[in-house]
Amino acid sequence: MSDTKTIDWSKLRADFPILHQQVHGKPLVYFDNAATSQKPRAVIDALVHYYEHDNANVHRGIHELSNRATNAFEAARTRTAKFINAKSADEIIFTRGTTESINLVAATWGAKHLKAGDVILLTELEHHSNLVPWQMLAAKTGAKLAYVPVTGDDGVLDLSQLDALLTPAVKIFSMVHISNSMGTVNPVAEMCARAKKLGIVTLVDGAQSAGHLPVDVQTIGCDFFAFSGHKICGPTGIGVLYGRTEVLATMPPYQGGGEMILSVGYQKSDFKPAPHRFEAGTPDISGPIGLHAAMDYLDAIGRANIWRHDQELANYAAEQLGSLKNIRIFGPKNNRAGLVSFLLKDVHAHDVVTLADQGGVALRGGHHCTQPLMHKLGVESTARASFYFYNTKAEVDTFIEVIKEIQKFFAA
């Protein structure tokens, strides 16, 4: 891994063709990284190379191209295991994204292990993708939902209540690692440890963390970890579910079809073990290959360095926004992840985003798929700036100038 001092951040920026353009006559400032990240040339090239040289279906073929495609596909699985320090590549299941990863757990682990009266413990910070699958499972099984509360605008969980919430009825505790709307970094290792002592299965939603800080699933101690490729410089449509071998072994298949079977009869079939048991049909093959290139790219920079850079930009942005009048800033005072959510007094978030766009700055406005959290904080929406390693302090300055202009525009 590289040292911070040796990283030429502006050189990395040159690796991203999309960043070098003007929007509405202004240089693009892309601050919507929590929604999706941009892709470096290395990832685009990996996809093009695959389709120009190696494209074939995986696992069943005997010919040369199929061997190459299969090798590249499975090499991506091994690379992913290394990326999050899983013990084995067999603990890595490819999905369409974080959402499908969580749905897979709800559909298979949930169907097998949950019954009426059991409790699914979540936090009030969760993204809809870590809420709705559990609500659907609860409706199906008669299980109940419980939540670790958020204290307020700082988006911090009140963990003093955790022990009281971890009742014997709790069977699974699913928690977000980094809040996409608040920028909170949850102490997931501690939260998982407290659940694990009581034999409760744990899932960590790593959509906002996997590409931003070093992730070690063994240190976290979770049973499941979910993330998406597109938020970490990889392609859209590819995601990952890590499952601890012992837990995966208890789970029935997800979807049925080719790839996931050992043998099929007219009445009955036998299924492969994990991970292929959970990957029916021809998978997204180019996705893992692009993801492999993305993981190589990120780890050449070093995720500890990326995290430092993210935090520097977010702290700087929060501080600059904090010096403005008539603004409400969300998120923790300490250890803020690389994003800032805010509201300007008397200006709706969508008006902020529309005007910022005219200034070349891509923000997001809305409830960020955390409607219950917005409701709890008494807001309909927020505007959000979210950063990645290719963003610069100068871009934050541009963003702050644009926000000042927006305030003037609506005050006039």
Partner 1 sequence: MFDDINDLYQQVILDHCKKPRNFHEMPACSCSAQGFNPLCGDNLKLFLTLDGDVIKDASFVGSGCCISKASASLLTENVKGKTKAEAEKMFELVREMVTTGQVTGDVAKLAVFAGVYKYPARVKCAILAWHALIGALKGEAAPVSTENEQT
| 359 near partner 1 (CB under 8 A) | yes
Q: What is the DSSP string of 342-377?
A: EEETTB-HHHHHHHHHHTTEE-EEE-TT-HHHHHHH
**Least Å distance between CB 66 and partner 1?**
43
Question: Strand, helix or coil at 272?
Answer: coil
Tokens coding 237: 């449509």
| 367 near partner 1 (CB under 8 A) | yes
CA distance 136 to 139: 5
> Which helix H or strand E contains 224, and what residues bound it?
strand 224-228
| 397 near partner 1 (CB under 8 A) | no
Cis amide leading into 275 (omega within 30) = yes
| 405 near partner 1 (CB under 8 A) | yes
Among 17, 350, 393, 394, binds partner 1 (CB under 8 A): 350
**Least Å distance between CB 135 and partner 1?**
16
| 355 near partner 1 (CB under 8 A) | yes
Closer residue to partner 1, CB minimum distance, 46 or 374: 374
| 381 near partner 1 (CB under 8 A) | yes
| 346 near partner 1 (CB under 8 A) | yes
| 354 near partner 1 (CB under 8 A) | yes
Closer residue to partner 1, CB minimum distance, 291 or 344: 344
Among 187, 214, 366, 372, binds partner 1 (CB under 8 A): 366
Write the interaction track for partner 1 spanning residues 22-51; mark x where CB under 8 A is met and - where it is not: --xx--------------------------
CA distance 5 to 86: 30
| 402 near partner 1 (CB under 8 A) | yes
Q: Phi first, then psi: what are they for 76, rounded to 5°?
A: -65, -35
For the CA atoms of 68, 71, 72, 78, the dihedral, rounded to the nearest 10 degrees, stands at -170
Closer residue to partner 1, CB minimum distance, 34 or 210: 34
Q: What is the DSSP string of 138-203?
A: HHHH--EEEEEPB-STT--B-GGGHHHH--TTEEEEEEESB-TTT--B--HHHHHHHHHTTT-EEE
CA distance 319 to 361: 19
Give the catalytic positions in this structure.
369
Number of residues that bind partner 1 (CB under 8 A): 24
Among 351, 372, 376, 392, binds partner 1 (CB under 8 A): 351
Closer residue to partner 1, CB minimum distance, 305 or 382: 382
The residue ranges that bind partner 1 (CB under 8 A) are 24-25, 346-351, 354-355, 358-359, 365-367, 371, 374, 380-381, 402, 405, 409-410, 412
